[in-house]
Amino acid sequence: MENIEEVLEINKIREQIKKYTKTLLAKKKIDELKPSSEYSFVSKEYQKLKETIDVLDIYNDFPIISELDLYEEIAYAKKGNVFNEITLNQIKQEIQTTVDVIKYSLKIKEDYDALNELFMSLKANELLFNEISSAISQENTVKDSASKELFSIRKSIYSLNKNIHSSLNSIFGKYKDKLSGDNFVLRNGHYAIPVNSSYKASIDGIVHDVSDSGLTTFIEPKEILELENQLAVLKIKERDEINKLLYKLTTKVVENANELINNNEILGELDFLSSKAKYAKEIDANVPRINNGKYFKLYSARHPLIDKNICVPNDFILGNEKTLMIISGPNAGGKTIALKTVAILAYMAKLSLALPASVDSEICLFKNIYIDIGDSQSIENNLSTFSAHISNISVVLKYITSSDLVVIDELCTGTDPKEGEALAVAIVKELLKKQAISLITSHYELLKKYGLTNDKILNASFIFNEKNVTPTFKILLGVSGKSYGFLIGKKFGLDAALIADAKKIYDNSFESEDDKKLHALDEKERYLATKDEKLKLRQESLTKLKEELSKKEKELRDKENKLKNQKIDKFDVFLNDKYNEINNIYNTFLKDKDIKKAEAKLDKINVKKKKNENITVGNYITIKSLGINGRVISENGNKLRINTNDGFSINATKDQCELIEAPKETVKPTINADKYILGQKQVSASLNLIGYRVDDALIALDKYLDDCVLRGLKQVKIIHGYGSGKLREGIHSFLKKRKNIASFKIGSELDGGSGSTIVNLK
């Protein structure tokens, strides 16, 4: 048989999963992932994957950053090698990642047994982390403070370098007429000065280099030779001390090898699970149920390597009573893809990968999966397509058991049709004897008939759009399919008379009366199955519509609750205003003890909603809740536009207003420059933001305050109500940031209490 991973292109799936990895170990795990038919092992792996999908959906990705395979690194150190600064910093990062993942796990409130087992195995070695941090800088160098000895050596190096530079400056001054440059250079690790070659004999020192032209000789002056020798000794001491420190840290890492390797492997496992979970999300896959039987139920199954937006999902149900499926239908109708879909999903289950099928799907774990798909002609063995095909099948029939899956495309084609049909039926009988779960595609009429007479065989076919002569790629279970050769021939240009002649030849040569009756029954069954499929699609459409209606119903309920809360906020303000009025009357009574005056004022307060339908343009009204009087200048249903006695323009509803008598002397309006400049716009001394969302309220408030500044208003009232307090908090936060706000405070009882804020402008 062919290599199953090559035929199914499993390497492409591995590469797609590896895109999401962040660790070397996860990449290795994906490359080395082996199929398993052990129920307990796959079940546990699937449990971990399911939990990972849930956790990532709620808490986002694991905070993993790791570039090491610590098993290999520590094995390298155990051979006597020493870690460099970069590797030690990577180990430090590994410890930090371990700490971050432990913190991440503590946020998880749900019980995830499989993941918790991994999280609980992590141990953060803070002592080693601190030791590396104190010795190695972020720039991957050993710090001066790593040891007293290193600090002393580097201090001496710094001092000596300073002396060398000072000496070089003196030498430049001494020999400036004999030099061909104005700065020293490094040659072979030594400081040298550029000397005009004609004067080289006059300068005592060691020649280290000569320019290409020969005009300049680079000489290390005798004056700094001793200093450089001292520097070289210090550099050796520095290197030895660094090596000693690196060796010490390497030893510490090796001492904690078991713990570090364990952490590294767990981080790799978590990254591996995370990558599988992200791949599952990419292809809309779910973790299937694994059964211990010999059957599978794959609903809305898709091929993982075909774009999910164009791949037509299909149901595949096989096993128990019916162990073999014969799929028939036209060429290029989807038969081969159907075989590959079942085979690749069965193999993905053995790899513990999520399957691109609906969440209620389930599958068994096949011990072996045998595939014969496509042109298997062997040039090397000089076998024809048919010979190679039969050679594969002979191997299958020899080794298969009831625990295996067999997938064969176009059984026994490539030879004499009659012999091929007979061989196909015989092979199917043998597969049924072996009780292996098998899927076969074929055009053979004899095989279709045999399938109709055997209760262990499930016939299936792909729906074909006869009107448009196009495949639908939708499979129907329980009916056999036609090849539609005559119909397709006509579509692609064969003469109608030729097609009619071929049909006549077929009817006379191959179709008996029994065949005609069988085909008629088959047509009826196909018709009913198609209707059933349409009903199923209709049901799915209705279910989707029901979900959408439920969503809209919830949105309407939320909107209704929001409006109720807004009305409650408005009523809170109303009650607060009435409370303030009554409290004011009471305080006045306490001062002057005039009960009649207090009663008269109380009689004017009415918390009932008044019917003021008679208020119209030209009437004078009062809005007691705001202490405002004015004249109605326009009317729109229940809404009024009012010019106040103070020269402002406000909006109100009729139920907020009461009719009053017109003032004896009408105040003549005066021309206002601000009013003219601002397009005759009036600005109220208060702004009601009840019912606004926070973002919308801040936009309105910002514009309102700008208008107030232009009008020269110094104090205004912002009405925000009580509610949840979010609107008030948002307004206060906004006011703190505005430069033209002198101060603000919660309103007093007279101003409306905590349902309003008084703002003083600069």
Average pLDDT, the chain: 83
State the pLDDT at residue 96: 95
Fold designation for 289-480? Rossmann fold (3.40.50)
DSSP characters over 371-397: EE-S---BTTTTB-HHHHHHHHHHHHH
- Residue-level pLDDT at 358: 95
Is CATH 1.10.540 the right assignment for the domain spanning 4-125+256-282?
no
Q: Which residues of the chain have pLDDT under 70?
A: 1-2, 330-333, 374-384, 464-473, 478-494, 499, 501-503, 505-534, 537, 564, 567-568, 571-572, 603-613, 625-626, 646-649, 664-682, 749-752
How do strand 324-328 and strand 314-319 relate by DSSP bridges?
Answer: unpaired
DSSP at 286: B
| Sign of the alpha-carbon torsion through 25, 30, 36, 39 | positive
Q: What's the confidence (pLDDT) of residue 577?
A: 76
Pseudo-torsion of CA 659, 661, 663, 666, nearest 10°? 70
At 487-542, the pLDDT tens digits run 556 666 667 777 676 667 666 665 565 555 555 556 555 556 666 666 776 777 77
Residue type (1 letter), 105: S
User: What pLDDT shows up at residue 677?
Assistant: 40
* Domain spans, the chain: 4-125+256-282, 159-232, 289-480, 673-762
Give the pLDDT of residue 555. 78
Q: Residue 546's pLDDT is what?
A: 80
Cα 410 to Cα 416: distance, rounded to the nearest angstrom: 14
CA angle (576 as vertex; 571, 582 as ends), nearest 5: 130
Q: What is the pLDDT of residue 75?
A: 95
Q: What is the pLDDT at residue 431?
A: 94
Give the type of residue at 36. Answer: S
What's the chain's Rg over C-alpha atoms?
44
Matching fold, domains 289-480 and 673-762: no
The fold of the 673-762 domain, in CATH, is: Ribosomal Protein S8; Chain: A, domain 1 (3.30.1370)
User: Quick check: 84 and 291 in contact, CB under 8 A?
Assistant: no
- Check: CB of residue 620 under 8 Å from CB of residue 630: yes
pLDDT for 251 equals 96
Is 684 exposed, middle or buried (CB count within 10 Å of its CB: 0-12, 13-18, 19+)? buried
Closest CA to 15 of 4, 36, 37, 30: 30
- What is the tens place of the pLDDT at every residue in 138-166? 999 999 999 999 999 999 999 998 998 88
Whole-number Å distance between alpha carbons of 28 and 325: 38
**What 8-state DSSP symbol labels residue 287?**
P
Residue 605 is predicted with a pLDDT of 65
Q: Which of 194, 193, 191, 222 is nearest to 206 (CA)?
A: 222
Type of residue numbered 620 = Y
pTM for the model stands at 0.63
Residues β-bridged to residue 718: 687, 757
What is the model's pLDDT at position 550? 80
